[in-house]
Amino acid sequence: RPSVDPSPPSPMPPIPSPIPVLLVGQIYQDTILYMDDYPKEDSKIRAKDMEQRRGGNICNTAEVLCQFPRMDPHVMSCLGTKEASSPLVSGLEEIGIKTQACVYRPTPLPSSYIIQSSQSGTRTIISCNKTIELNLEEFIHHFDATPPYAWVHFEGRNIDNTVQQIDWLSSKAQQEGWSLKISVELEKPDRPDIDLLLAKGDVVFFSKLFAQTRNYHHPKDFLRSIQPQCKVGATLFCTWGEGGATCLLPSGEIHHASAIPVHQVIDSVGAGDTFIAGIIFCLTRQLHVLTALKFACEMASRKVEKVGFNGLA
Ligand code: FRU
């Protein structure tokens, strides 16, 4: 008879159902102006419609995640004062997005003014953020690991603090034996020191703009060239708008999924954030990466055909 392994089973707690996911970044107040065309400078024109809603990459991702079965999204963001933030907080809590990890500040919530053009399908975002960014002490103080998160996603912003937060989290996860995935989004190429985040994610999400700014015109060339700077074993994704999205696995295997043809772009704000939600949803369920890629592309395509994030699941 083969000898029985006397060591106790892995100390890792099983991932509970629902699956807790923490999203760290900045919530915004978005004002979206729906226009026929992008306006000329110094013109005076009317928008067809206007919408105000909560936004910010992690908030948009959480809005999509909370519609999927067994997903338990938590957000960690700086907000305004407790009083000013109470409608936002109760709106999020009502749809199942947990906010207890958020930090209150005396400054107002950052805002974005967005021009959505129906001719070109572009969304031009002008943001203003005067918030003092979340530091390591606050991250540790607000990080509640009960039940343990299956996945922690970081927006690629506030770089120095985010690097420290991920380093702290990675060593904590190792000490505690958590089977935790850390993902990082590198969307805006002009953020100083953003490359410091390359090596920090088990999963890294790149935008088309990020790749193009580095003079790559094909996502697979970009992913292959950036892979040596990423964590060993990391899975890399690059979204490419109507060109779909590509994934590079640690083995060097490349997968691509096409976007679904979109009849008309209605609201493209948060399409990339929707893609991230689709990937997190599939990978926390241990689905194959190609399944995840196709699913996330489909979600992102369906999102741009509708206003907001409701009804995607
Ligand atoms: C879209 C978005 C908006 C927000 C802006 C912040 O991805 O998250 O909701 O205003 O980007 O950069």
| Mean pLDDT taken over the chain | 94
What separation in Å is there between the alpha carbon of 13 and the centre of ligand 1?
35
296 touches 222 (CB < 8 A): no
Q: What is the mean pLDDT of residues 255-262?
A: 95
Locate the ligand 1 atom nearest the alpha carbon of residue 26 and give its number. Answer: 6
Residue ranges around ligand 1 (CB below 6 Å):
28, 30, 55-57, 60, 112, 125, 127, 269-270, 273
Residue 164: exposure state from Cβ atoms within 10 A (0-12, 13-18, ≥19): middle
Indicate the top mutation candidate among 61, 127, 191, 274 to test ligand 1's pocket, ranked by most ligand atoms within 8 A of CB: 127
pLDDT tens-place string over residues 101-118: 999 999 999 999 999 999
pLDDT of 12 above 70: no
Query: Which residues partner with 49 through β-bridges?
Result: 34
Measured by CA distance, the residue closest to atom 5 of ligand 1 is 56
Measured by CA distance, the residue closest to atom 12 of ligand 1 is 56
* Four-point Cα dihedral 185, 256, 68, 144, nearest 10: -30
Provide the pLDDT for residue 147: 75
Q: What is the mean pLDDT of residues 5-21?
A: 62
Q: What is the mean pLDDT of residues 186-190?
A: 95
Provide the pLDDT for residue 204: 98
